[in-house]
Structure 1
Amino acid sequence: MFINPMLLQTRKKAFNDSDFIYEMKLDGFRGIFSLINETPTLYTRHNNIVTDRFPELWNVPFKEDIVLDGEVVCFNPLTKQIDFEGVMERFLTKNKQKITQRAIAQPANFVVFDILFYKGEELRKLPLIERKVILDEVIKDNQTFSKIRFIEGDGVSYFEAIKKANLEGMVAKYKNSVYQPIRSNQWLKIINWQYTDVFITGYKKDQTGWLASIEEDHRMKPVGVIEYGVSPDERKAFYQVSKSLITHEDQQRVYLDPAIRAKVKFRN
């Protein structure tokens, strides 16, 4: 049973408001988890079924029909921190043998932040804070299912703690919000943007994307691809300058001498 998720509006700064609750923004992928007639189904936010990729989530700590909204995350076994690359590796794995192996080596956790349907009853029209009470009664944390923690009122201090811990950001939700399949300003995300200087060491041939690298041990280490935030004039200037910096190319990319630098912001 798929339910279109309620989405977040972006807000630049943290704020204090007694009518809001504040949650950590988790670095995984959004999921709608359904258990109907004892059959578990995990959907992405775009209504793609990925249940078979996360067999550890089939062992649910409840038996009644239910629909939950949450985030699928993995934890680094060494640091115990949320591992975005780990959960994306799990998400992209389709081979049955590898799925079984990775479910043991790096199990996923479904962190629940909302309950939308329970025992045949539609809950989306209830205020969020009432849904949280029901969720707390229904879900008992275990190794694969856990409830997200939230605080009330002091969003500014909470966001400062998130920044110090180098986490992705914070979500602010209006206590009395009903659950709607829209992007709403009653649910807000405040991102802990980080900034760094990089060298542009190439670009993609098939689509706009600049290859970003940093210098490490006197060598260029690739760290990502810049695809957003560049104006048309900046793109035009880049491609004019880059012609004289080409060193070689392959079927997908053109590589450059690291003569162009940029400051980028990133979130994980």
Structure 2
Amino acid sequence: MFISPMLLQTAPGPFSQNAFIYEPKIDGHRLIYDQPDASHVHLYTRHNNECTRQYPEINGSTSALFPHDITLDGEIACVDPVTGAVDIEAVTSRLNTKRVDKIRRLMERLPVTYVVFDILRYKGKDLRNRPLMERKAILASLALPNAHFGVIPYVEGMGEALFAQMQARAMEGVVAKRKNSLYETGRRSAAWQKIINWTYAEVYITGYRKQEFGWLAAVPDPSGRLRPAGVIKYGTSTIHRQAFRGMARQLIKSEDKEFVYLEPQMRARVRMRNWTKSGMLRSPVFTGFIV
């Protein structure tokens, strides 16, 4: 049975309070693990898309299961074997692969780990109305089926120190959770907050979409020439868009069915999750023009 996961609010910055625990934020995709009995497993993304077949490492087809019914909440992650970093692009590749033969090959090249951070149901009992630390204690007592399962570590009251460690390791950030929080299915709650370790970049705006909003971003390559780096879709206010339109009229150089292209005279600062392997901005958010 799918359970819509509890979602996180965004905190303005790192903080430390004794009423909270703090976990490393894993850069993967959310996964609800539902095992209704000792022989069946169903895996779901946060949007209720079943992805059981994509992950033989944890779906029971190539490994043992828990000896009882259980529902878990966690994150699917892939670790780069060379750098040891969590690789979100590898996770995306695993999630999008449906053919059995390709899945088998990817299991060897891009194995996944299910990083568990909560337990929602156990031995026929719904645990969502129990305090977080009680659920954590039950989770810690479990024997995990195989090496592809792990339980997320946490610290109490030291959010800023953990965030500094995540910055030093170039990890995604920190999740703060109130110790007495209940599991609020399918909604965002201030009881769970994410603090993102943003990366910042300066880009040139080289065009815009004609239909759906988006500014084309470019950055210099090693030779100094501009190369495409993605589309900025978030973070702009009405004032920013008005200012952009006023400047863009004077910079148009060409267009096609989808885009209007501009002389690269406007620059902007963006924040993002990280750079992709192909050198693109990942989820860029506009923070201001550079003048």
* TM-score, normalised via structure 1 length: 0.92
- Which of 193, 209, 213 is the equivalent residue of 2:214? 209
Q: Which residue in the other structure is 1:50 paired with?
A: 51
The CA distance in 1 between the partners of 2:10 and 2:173, in whole Å, is 11
SS of corresponding position for 1:110? strand
Bigger Cα displacement from structure 2, 248-257 vs 163-172: 248-257
1:1-268 equivalence runs, <5 A:
1-37=1-37, 38-58=39-59, 59-140=63-144, 142-181=146-185, 182-217=187-222, 218-268=224-274
SS of corresponding position for 1:4? coil
The CA distance in 1 between the partners of 2:218 and 2:143, in whole Å, is 44
Aligned-residue offset at 1:266: 1.2
Q: Deviations over 1:164-216 (max 9, x none)?
A: 22221111111111111121111111112222111112333331111222112
The CA distance in 2 between the partners of 1:157 and 1:243, in whole Å, is 48
SS of corresponding position for 2:261? strand
Inter-CA distance 86–204: structure 2 relative to 1 (3 Å threshold): farther
Inter-CA distance 106–68: structure 2 relative to 1 (3 Å threshold): same
The CA distance in 2 between the partners of 1:60 and 1:252, in whole Å, is 51
The CA distance in 1 between the partners of 2:74 and 2:246, in whole Å, is 46
Inter-CA distance 67–226: structure 2 relative to 1 (3 Å threshold): same
The CA distance in 1 between the partners of 2:210 and 2:55, in whole Å, is 35
Superposition CA RMSD, Å: 2.0
The CA distance in 1 between the partners of 2:208 and 2:29, in whole Å, is 27
| Structure 2 counterpart of 1:34, one-letter code | D
Aligned-residue offset at 1:86: 1.5
The CA distance in 2 between the partners of 1:148 and 1:116, in whole Å, is 15
Where structure 1 has 5 or more consecutive residues not aligned to the other structure, the ranges are none
Inter-CA distance 202–57: structure 2 relative to 1 (3 Å threshold): farther
SS of corresponding position for 1:170? strand
Q: Deviations over 1:81-138 (max 9, x none)?
A: 0011221222222333333322221112111000111111111122111111111111
Aligned-residue offset at 1:246: 4.1
Q: Deviations over 1:2-43 (max 9, x none)?
A: 112111122112222222110011111111111123211111
Bigger Cα displacement from structure 2, 173-182 vs 55-64: 55-64
* TM-score, normalised via structure 2 length: 0.85
The CA distance in 1 between the partners of 2:181 and 2:230, in whole Å, is 37
Aligned-residue offset at 1:60: 4.7
SS of corresponding position for 1:17? coil
Q: Is this contact kept in 1: 2:31–2:74, CA < 8 A? A: yes
